Amino acid sequence: MKKILLIIFLIFVSCEKKNQVTDTVEFIKACWVNGESDFEFNGIKIKEENCCEACVSLAINLYFDVDFDVTKNQWWYDMRKLVKKSDTNKEKLLSLHKALVEEAVKIGDVRFKKMSDSIVGDILD
Protein backbone atom coordinates (compact mmCIF):
# COMPACT_ATOMS: atom_id res chain seq x y z
CA MET A 1 0.00 0.00 0.00
CA LYS A 2 2.84 2.41 0.85
CA LYS A 3 4.44 1.75 -2.53
CA ILE A 4 1.21 2.57 -4.35
CA LEU A 5 0.85 5.83 -2.43
CA LEU A 6 4.48 6.71 -3.15
CA ILE A 7 3.99 6.04 -6.87
CA ILE A 8 0.84 8.17 -6.95
CA PHE A 9 2.66 10.97 -5.13
CA LEU A 10 5.61 10.85 -7.55
CA ILE A 11 3.27 10.93 -10.54
CA PHE A 12 1.46 13.92 -9.04
CA VAL A 13 4.72 15.78 -8.39
CA SER A 14 5.96 15.01 -11.89
CA CYS A 15 2.73 16.28 -13.48
CA GLU A 16 2.79 19.40 -11.29
CA LYS A 17 6.34 20.24 -12.43
CA LYS A 18 5.40 19.73 -16.08
CA ASN A 19 2.35 21.98 -15.70
CA GLN A 20 4.47 24.64 -14.00
CA VAL A 21 6.99 24.62 -16.87
CA THR A 22 4.18 24.69 -19.44
CA ASP A 23 2.44 27.60 -17.71
CA THR A 24 5.71 29.55 -17.53
CA VAL A 25 6.44 28.92 -21.22
CA GLU A 26 2.93 30.11 -22.11
CA PHE A 27 3.36 33.22 -19.94
CA ILE A 28 6.72 34.07 -21.53
CA LYS A 29 5.25 33.46 -25.00
CA ALA A 30 2.37 35.81 -24.14
CA CYS A 31 4.92 38.44 -23.07
CA TRP A 32 6.74 37.94 -26.37
CA VAL A 33 3.62 38.06 -28.55
CA ASN A 34 1.96 41.02 -26.82
CA GLY A 35 5.07 43.17 -26.40
CA GLU A 36 4.08 46.60 -25.11
CA SER A 37 0.34 45.95 -25.50
CA ASP A 38 -1.78 45.58 -22.38
CA PHE A 39 -2.92 42.02 -21.74
CA GLU A 40 -3.84 39.65 -18.96
CA PHE A 41 -2.41 36.20 -18.30
CA ASN A 42 -4.03 33.97 -15.69
CA GLY A 43 -5.33 36.99 -13.80
CA ILE A 44 -2.06 38.93 -13.96
CA LYS A 45 -2.46 42.28 -15.68
CA ILE A 46 0.46 43.33 -17.85
CA LYS A 47 0.67 47.01 -18.75
CA GLU A 48 3.29 49.16 -20.44
CA GLU A 49 5.22 49.67 -17.18
CA ASN A 50 5.67 45.90 -16.63
CA CYS A 51 5.82 44.69 -20.21
CA CYS A 52 8.55 43.10 -22.25
CA GLU A 53 11.64 42.16 -20.22
CA ALA A 54 9.85 42.85 -16.92
CA CYS A 55 7.01 40.57 -18.03
CA VAL A 56 9.40 37.72 -18.79
CA SER A 57 11.13 38.31 -15.45
CA LEU A 58 7.77 38.17 -13.70
CA ALA A 59 7.03 34.81 -15.35
CA ILE A 60 10.39 33.49 -14.16
CA ASN A 61 9.74 34.89 -10.66
CA LEU A 62 6.48 32.94 -10.51
CA TYR A 63 8.21 29.80 -11.79
CA PHE A 64 10.81 30.00 -9.01
CA ASP A 65 8.28 31.27 -6.46
CA VAL A 66 10.30 34.39 -5.66
CA ASP A 67 9.40 38.07 -5.52
CA PHE A 68 12.45 39.81 -6.99
CA ASP A 69 11.84 43.36 -8.30
CA VAL A 70 11.36 42.91 -12.05
CA THR A 71 11.69 46.64 -12.75
CA LYS A 72 15.29 46.89 -11.57
CA ASN A 73 18.55 45.52 -12.98
CA GLN A 74 19.12 43.92 -9.58
CA TRP A 75 16.69 41.21 -10.72
CA TRP A 76 19.43 39.63 -12.86
CA TYR A 77 21.86 39.48 -9.94
CA ASP A 78 19.20 38.07 -7.62
CA MET A 79 18.34 35.36 -10.16
CA ARG A 80 22.00 34.48 -10.69
CA LYS A 81 22.48 34.13 -6.95
CA LEU A 82 19.34 31.97 -6.65
CA VAL A 83 20.37 29.65 -9.49
CA LYS A 84 23.93 29.31 -8.18
CA LYS A 85 22.59 28.52 -4.70
CA SER A 86 21.62 24.96 -5.63
CA ASP A 87 21.83 22.39 -8.40
CA THR A 88 18.06 22.00 -8.14
CA ASN A 89 17.54 25.65 -9.11
CA LYS A 90 20.01 25.32 -11.96
CA GLU A 91 18.25 22.19 -13.24
CA LYS A 92 14.92 23.99 -12.94
CA LEU A 93 16.22 26.85 -15.10
CA LEU A 94 17.68 24.45 -17.65
CA SER A 95 14.37 22.59 -17.76
CA LEU A 96 12.58 25.86 -18.49
CA HIS A 97 15.13 26.70 -21.18
CA LYS A 98 14.62 23.33 -22.86
CA ALA A 99 10.85 23.88 -22.89
CA LEU A 100 11.28 27.40 -24.30
CA VAL A 101 13.53 26.12 -27.10
CA GLU A 102 11.00 23.37 -27.91
CA GLU A 103 8.25 26.01 -28.06
CA ALA A 104 10.39 28.20 -30.34
CA VAL A 105 10.86 25.27 -32.71
CA LYS A 106 7.15 24.45 -32.53
CA ILE A 107 6.09 28.00 -33.44
CA GLY A 108 8.99 28.46 -35.86
CA ASP A 109 10.30 31.65 -34.26
CA VAL A 110 14.09 31.92 -34.29
CA ARG A 111 14.00 35.24 -32.41
CA PHE A 112 12.00 33.63 -29.58
CA LYS A 113 14.72 30.98 -29.31
CA LYS A 114 17.45 33.63 -29.28
CA MET A 115 15.58 35.54 -26.56
CA SER A 116 15.30 32.35 -24.51
CA ASP A 117 18.98 31.56 -24.99
CA SER A 118 19.95 35.10 -23.96
CA ILE A 119 17.88 35.09 -20.79
CA VAL A 120 19.18 31.75 -19.57
CA GLY A 121 22.71 32.58 -20.67
CA ASP A 122 22.65 35.87 -18.77
CA ILE A 123 21.34 34.21 -15.62
CA LEU A 124 23.91 31.42 -15.77
CA ASP A 125 26.71 33.84 -16.63
- The count of residues in the chain is 125
Of 87, 52, 90, 53, which is closest to residue 73 (Cα–Cα)?
Answer: 53
At residue 88, the pLDDT reads: 95
Of 30, 25, 11, 9, which is closest to residue 95 (Cα–Cα)?
Answer: 25
pLDDT in tens, 16-46: 445 789 999 999 998 888 877 887 777 878 7
At residue 49, the pLDDT reads: 67
- Could you state, in order of their start, the residue ranges of all structural domains in the chain? 22-124
Q: CB neighbours (10 Å) of residue 118?
A: 10
| Rounded mean pLDDT, 65-80 | 93
What is the model's pTM?
0.78
Count of H-run helices and E-run strands, the chain? 5, 2
* CA 95/CA 66 separation, integer angstroms: 17
Tell me which of 88 and 51 has the higher pLDDT: 88
Query: With bands split at pLDDT 50, 70 and 90, how would you rate the model's confidence at 1?
Result: low
pLDDT, averaged across the chain: 83
